[in-house]
Amino acid sequence: MTVFLNPDWNKMKALRIAVVGYGNIGRYAVEAVEAAPDMELAGVVRRSAATSAEEAKQLAGIKVVTDVEQLGKVDVAILCGPTRSIPETAPHYLARGIHTVDSYDIHGESLWQLRSDLDAVGKKHNSVAVVSAGWDPGSDSLLRALLLAMAPKGITYTNFGPGMSMGHSVCAKGKPGVKDALSMTIPTGTGVHRRMVYVELEPGADLSAVSAAIKADAYFAHDDTRVFAVPSIDEIKDMGHGVQMERKGVSGATQNQLFEFRMTINNPALTSQIMISCARAAARHLKPGAYTMPEIAPMDMLPGDRATLVKTLV
């Protein structure tokens, strides 16, 4: 199935997008904005100019600033900094009437707290925050909601990997004595995972202290976590990842309805693409406030006119 859009639809005003942060996600977000038919890159917001020759090459022709005000009119800010920076960063943009999309990745209470806080800021300043727009939380969450609507009783298992978890890797890298880190997620079935954490230590750092600090963090505390020292993280890095989601449930009074979703993807490429698609929903369709992905109609994430989308996609 392919959707061939009415060429007139994108005569509507292009959305101006700022990419905030230029790590893994930020780089791929720039590519996703450039591939979107109804968006233009206003620029990249980061603390400093290019830090390497490779980065300078990637950023050639892109406006790089330290404050979003320097980019002129911006519709949406794609927040690509670390998860724990989001609660502080997002209101800065929302208060200026700039919509935000983040991929905050800690499930549960803190995610609800962030959504509630940004909902208030957005409603006050007429802006939209899409919270936790990645793949899990994100598109997986949307799928879990859909499966629950299709078979309300039953259990959904989300099995991750094998693959590198960016959130967990950044968390491990943040511990004292760690120069670089990579956290691999290993599925052991029925939604249970092992975390294999590879750390490149600073000179003189103690592996057992590092290991204890990582295991005590809320990111890792609930999983079987094993920490290993390696000479180089760069040598083992691969950004492929995967998911297998399963639900066996009941529709009405009918048992044994079976559902399965699998994907094998480049992790930052998918995360940033989802963020860009959610930016479209934020700027073109949603009312002020904050939303998680299952609270957004998927068609609102797509470019194109409604008639063409309904005729070709539904």
Which of positions 151-180 make contact with its own copies (CB under 8 A)?
A: 151-153, 155-158
Give the nearer residue to its own copies in terms of CB position, either 227 or 245: 245
Give the nearer residue to its own copies in terms of CB position, either 36 or 197: 36
- The beta-carbon contacts of 181-190 under 8 Å, at least 24 apart in sequence, are 181/233, 182/233, 182/236, 182/237, 183/220, 185/160, 185/161, 185/241, 186/161, 186/162, 187/159, 187/160, 187/161, 187/162, 187/244, 188/224, 189/157, 189/159, 190/157, 190/159
Site for its own copies in 195-214 (CB under 8 A): none
27 near 273, Cβ under 8 Å? Answer: no
Q: Which of 19, 86, 111, 182 binds its own copies (CB under 8 A)?
A: 111
How many residues of this chain bind its own copies (CB under 8 A)?
78
Cβ partners under 8 Å of residue 124, min gap 6:
95
- For residue 290, CA distances in Å to 15, 111, 115, 281 come to 19, 11, 6, 12
> Shortest Cβ distance from residue 216 to its own copies (Å)?
23
The three-state DSSP-derived secondary structure of 143-170 is HHHHHHHHCCEEEEEEEECCEECHHHHH
Taking CB under 8 A as the rule, which mask of x and - marks residues 13-52 in contact with its own copies?
A: ---------------xx-xx-xxx----------------
Q: Which stretch binds its own copies (CB under 8 A): 81-89, 143-151, 166-174, 199-207?
A: 143-151
Q: Does the protein bind its own copies through residue 135 (CB under 8 A)?
A: yes
Site for its own copies in 259-298 (CB under 8 A): 259-266, 269-270, 272-274, 276-278, 292-298
Look at residue 217 and give its three-state secondary structure: coil
> Shortest Cβ distance from residue 38 to its own copies (Å)?
11
Q: Which of 13, 96, 107, 124 binds its own copies (CB under 8 A)?
A: 107
Q: Does the protein bind its own copies through residue 6 (CB under 8 A)?
A: no
Q: Which stretch binds its own copies (CB under 8 A): 7-15, 148-156, 200-208, 210-218?
A: 148-156
Angle at 231 between CA 227 and CA 233, to 5 degrees: 70
> Shortest Cβ distance from residue 30 to its own copies (Å)?
8
Give the nearer residue to its own copies in terms of CB position, either 56 or 307: 307
Q: Does the protein bind its own copies through residue 96 (CB under 8 A)?
A: no
Residue 282 CA to residue 269 CA, distance in Å, equals: 20
Q: Which of 49, 56, 150, 216 binds its own copies (CB under 8 A)?
A: 150
> Shortest Cβ distance from residue 11 to its own copies (Å)?
19
